[in-house]
Structure 1
Amino acid sequence: MLTLHAAELLVPGPGRAALPGGAVLVEGDRIARVGPYEELGAAFAQARVRRWPGVLTPGLLVRGADELLERTYYPEDTEGTEGTEGTEGAGGPDRISGADALACLELTESRWGNSARRATQKLLARGVVAVAGRLTVPAVRTAVVRSGLTLIAPLPYGAPPSLDPLAGLTAAEEAFHRVLEAGAPARFAVFAAADERDLLEQGATSCVATVIGGRLLHRRR
């Protein structure tokens, strides 16, 4: 099946000009064409059309997956986490890190796997399509693979790893995983932003949709 994803602004990736009113034509799990919506819509009138507000970009890459997924725990809402330290989340932390705090939880591999599944949902909701790092806990690796995220070899990073791969960057393209072009895997994201500069200001939590392998794995409700 052909699906045409159209946005107010298409940003194909580093070294490629942004295209107002651009679109990505997806066939199966691959990108078939990239170009103006009017042109692709006319040439492939049989394609299903998804119109998105904002900017469509390559999916994002998160570095430090081992730190984020194997040295940070993401509790369920119903879990008691008194006495631990975390960040974000009203009524209690939504993540727990630090050797002492994690030791108190006495985490099993199964609980680490469940934590990783919750984390991958957060990543998909931020337009992430790939993570870089060396994962050693089998249940965590399984959670990443089953989520649809691509796991690649570790990459250097300066600032502490963040679920928001845009945090602290000077250009959004620094977080892009590859470029949008014909023949490439259909991995991209849409953000409620006007352009790349606005995307940096809004952050990855402005994600509207995440597509991996041609499948819509996240859509803001």
Structure 2
Amino acid sequence: MPTLHRARLLHTGTRTLRDAAVLVDGATVTAIGPYAALADGPARVRDWPGVLVPGLLNPHAAWLLEHAYHPDPREELGDHPLPPPAGLTDGQWGGSARRGLQRLLGHGATALAGPLHRPAVRTATARSGLRHLPGPDTGPGPLDPLAGRPLANAVHRPLAVGAAADFAVFAAATVEELDGGGAACLATVLGGRLVYRRA
């Protein structure tokens, strides 16, 4: 069954609509427009507060996954990337990468860039569904793709009918509040699947 994602503000990457929605069927966006115009069809409705925007690209993700360690919550070391302990096995790198990928999704990232050399990290990334783009290693950077950047520079690709249903919802009253980062991500949808939802 299609899903209609409704938001107070919807920013496609090129325009902003109030009380609007994205209709998703499978992995694809099939309609974008005012909620009232799309609400008549048979679809499950997800009503989101805040601002719905296209999925974001994290240009530092390769470094974050291959050169930083994402601790397991049971280690009680917090949820920020740390310098990796010496002697991590491939399995431990894979576990760290899976946790790092989940944390990237928790910041609205649906795509990452940079070379991935570790097999365990490549496997975790492929299984996560995040779009992996080629590109240079940009070095250290934050998990939040919006930190220090305007939204326009962080969008992976605009939301469009016929394109992949990759988007995120943030707790914000205006689109401008997202510039520079720090807004709480409420949900991330990747290929039409709800892959992150803030507790």
2:168 pairs with 1:189: yes
Q: Distance in 2 between matches of 1:114 and 1:60?
A: 23
Q: Which amino acid aligns with 1:146?
A: R
Q: Which residue number corresponds to residue 220 of structure 1?
A: 198
Q: Which amino acid aligns with 2:161?
A: A
Shift of 1:71: 0.5
Q: Which residue number corresponds to residue 82 of structure 2?
A: 96
The 5 A counterparts of 1:167-182 are 167-169=147-149, 171-182=150-161
Q: Which residue number corresponds to residue 48 of structure 1?
A: 44
2:40 pairs with 1:61: no
Change (3 A) 1:168 1:202: closer
Per-residue CA deviations over 1:77-113 (Å, capped at 9, x if unaligned) read 33387xxxxxxx3xxx74222xxxx4x5211111100
Q: Which residue number corresponds to residue 76 of structure 1?
A: 72
Q: Which residue number corresponds to residue 84 of structure 1?
A: none
Q: TM-score, length-normalised on structure 1?
A: 0.84
Q: Distance in 2 between matches of 1:3 and 1:69?
A: 32
Q: Is the 8 A contact 2:4 2:43 kept in 1?
A: yes
2:140 pairs with 1:148: no
Q: Distance in 2 between matches of 1:202 and 1:168?
A: 6
Structure 2 unaligned runs (5+)? none
Q: Distance in 1 between matches of 2:163 and 2:100?
A: 26
> Which residue of 30, 34, 37 corresponds with 2:35?
37
Identity in percent: 50
Q: Distance in 1 between matches of 2:192 and 2:157?
A: 15
Structure 1 unaligned runs (5+)? 82-88
Rg (Cα) greater in structure: 1
Q: TM-score, length-normalised on structure 2?
A: 0.93
- RMSD between superposed Cα atoms in Å: 1.9
Q: Distance in 2 between matches of 1:181 and 1:80?
A: 41
Q: Which residue number corresponds to residue 164 of structure 1?
A: 144
Secondary structure, counterpart of 1:72 in structure 2: coil
Q: Is the 8 A contact 1:65 1:135 kept in 2?
A: no
Secondary structure, counterpart of 1:154 in structure 2: coil
Q: Distance in 2 between matches of 1:70 and 1:33?
A: 38
Q: Distance in 1 between matches of 2:193 and 2:112?
A: 18
Q: Which residue number corresponds to residue 86 of structure 1?
A: none
Per-residue CA deviations over 1:166-194 (Å, capped at 9, x if unaligned) read 0111x212111101110000000000001
Q: Distance in 2 between matches of 1:156 and 1:110?
A: 23
The 5 A counterparts of 1:11-30 are 11-13=11-13, 16-30=14-28
